[in-house]
Structure 1
């Protein structure tokens, strides 16, 4: 589940970038895998989604959003959920007052 406490407030300025996303012209199924999808089908779907992201005018903003809220599902900002999970594991969030 996404960390809703990390989501920006209700200001439309925080969300308007989504209106310019290249993904808005494509079926959501391109970016979010069905239950149990594995192997070459999943890789092909992810590659298709990432190709759309590559030409998206809000790629950086989308990626930053997905990483900031730890978006758990789908391709966001050109990163699959597995790629984001690896990034989270490599860079765990810092908790104030706790030494790691």
Structure 2
């Protein structure tokens, strides 16, 4: 198999995109670099939108959202506190990556 054919395979392209995403996140300084890395990675995976939500550590804190979703939607989502009832967020909070380590503590 030619190298170009191998690199064109979807799973190889996605692996490369994931690796590039991690490298770019590690080097990201301003918020715009992080947002651009997200948008590029979403495009590489053929996703229409991509979001990163950091939940507050305190009860009165506000979540931080970096997203390629339309700002009208993200403003509505945060204003209505949908992160509290969002099943994707709930599932992520229950997932224990890193060999069972609870990332919430």
Q: TM exceeds 0.5? A: no
Does 1 or 2 have the higher relative contact order (CA < 8 Å, sep 6+)?
1
Q: Normalising by structure 2, report the TM-score.
A: 0.29
Q: Which has the larger radius of gyration?
A: 2
Task: Please state which structure has a larger fraction of its residues in helix.
Answer: 2
Task: Please state which structure has a larger fraction of its residues in strand.
Answer: 2
